[in-house]
Amino acid sequence: MEKIVINGGKPLFGEVTVSGAKNAAVAIIPAVVLCDEPCRIENIPNISDVSLIANILQDMGAMVRRVDKNTLDIDPRPINTWEATHDAVRGMRASYYLLGALLGRFHNAKVALPGGCNFGVRPIDQHLKGFAMMGAHNELVNGAVIESTTSGSFHGARVYFDTVSVGSTINLMLAAVKAEGQTILENAAKEPHIVDLANFLNSMGANIRGAGTDVIKIRGVDYLRGVTYSIIPDQIEAGTYMAAAAATRGKITIRNITPKHLESISSKLMEMGCEIEEYDEAVIVDATKRPLNRVNIKTMPHPGFPTDCQPQFVALLSTVKGTSIVNESVWDNRYQYVSELVRMGAKISVEGRLAIIEGGKLTGAPVKATDLRAGAAMVIAGLVADGTTSISNINYIERGYSDVVTKFQSLGADIKKIYLPDHKHIATTA
């Protein structure tokens, strides 16, 4: 068992460099399945989700070589199966992107229903609806989705998404890249990693227009050439360090970021009283000069406030005097972590999609990560709290944050990862 242990109460100061975007990496790596030549993917975050999806491709026959911790060489040409049903596939949500990639390449796909963080019902009905409109037939057999087409029947279509969905937008993009004719995706999601995926596919020779707007047009092509491509910085990792700087009342410089991707986060921190300085690829967050103010937040699809930063900001607002209200409009059950913050003394009540937060003091306690971003919230709370906080289930945190302990140590945090091999020994590892 591994845990993160934090002795809180120290403001963060210094510089930290953000890794490549997790959400872009777990879409771009499956997209390599569509390519007709080898690819090199750079600026990949060193996280367990990336290792898992790379291993899944390798198990399917792809040649995968790790050049260094942030670079992968992938040759998809040896893949000769359109099935991905082993247990590793069930271990991460983004493995469902293999449906679109395999359907686009082979016009058939069989992929196990995925796992990942459990914070609400996340149906794939919009994915299946789009595949069906493109000529695929779907069925569920023994916990796996099977998509099949008759020869020559997979084609472009006009697909209107009933709800804005990042996953279905990405999956239909992948499926459409090599489909015959034109596909038009309406009410599409606009997140930065969707634009990054489109840029990657276009660099290989795809014909995608409109990514980043609510209408994406894709005209199918026959061949995709190999490229070297660098993934965008991770806006959620950047937002997490921004929230941590504010919560600890510190001042940090965050490098390797895209300021435009952080506008909704920066504006909330400025509303709270933080000073924000933006540069071409860096942002400075300064929370040392005045008391912070309460704010209300409503999560929204991009360019609104990201749901993936909601738990981190609830942890932050738990330290800010006054009553703040957070409205989670994206997921229906993302407050499972609140009981863990309450263990630390946070005063939070949840009513449906609303969290009502009375700011005050936090005290260290044993807590657990209930999902990826909730784990980040526990880290932020531990950095602020009086005393010692130990966080279990840190595998969730390591799914999406590269070198998180080392990075916080570089900012002056008293944080370490410990390994508990049995009940008798405790040995530090970081």
User: DSSP of 175-215, one letter per residue?
Assistant: HHTTSBSEEEEES----HHHHHHHHHHHHTT-EEE-BTBSE
**392 pairs with which residues across the strands?**
368
- Asked whether 328 and 335 are in contact (CB, 8 A), the reply is yes
Angle, CA of 128, 130 and 134, to the nearest 5°: 110
List, edge to edge, every strand of the sheet that includes 13-17.
Answer: 13-17, 251-255, 282-286, 275-278
Distance CA 67, CA 70 (A): 8
Among 114, 107, 95, 163, smallest CA distance to 131 is for: 107
392 in helix, strand or coil? strand
Residue 268, annotated ligand binder?
A: no
* Active-site residue, 309 included: no
**159 pairs with which residues across the strands?**
185
Residue 338, annotated ligand binder?
A: no
List, edge to edge, every strand of the sheet that includes 347-351.
Answer: 297-298, 323-327, 354-358, 347-351
How many CB atoms sit inside 10 A of residue 343's CB? 18
Residue 126, annotated ligand binder?
A: yes
Distance CA 428, CA 26 (A): 31
Residue 332, annotated ligand binder?
A: no
Residue 330, annotated ligand binder?
A: yes
Residue 122, annotated ligand binder?
A: yes
Distance CA 124, CA 116 (A): 14
Residue 219, annotated ligand binder?
A: no
65 in helix, strand or coil? strand
Instruction: At 253, list the tokens.
Output: 């410089």
Distance CA 100, CA 111 (A): 10
Residue for token pair 């930065």: 192
- Asked whether 161 and 194 are in contact (CB, 8 A), the reply is no
> Which of 35, 39, 117, 274 is the catalytic position?
117
Distance CA 339, CA 296 (A): 20
Residue 23, annotated ligand binder?
A: yes
- Asked whether 401 and 423 are in contact (CB, 8 A), the reply is no
Q: Would you please indicate which residues are annotated as catalytic (active-site) residues?
A: 117
Show binding-site residues for UDP-N-acetyl-alpha-D-glucosamine. 93, 122-126, 308, 330
Show binding-site residues for phosphoenolpyruvate. 22-23
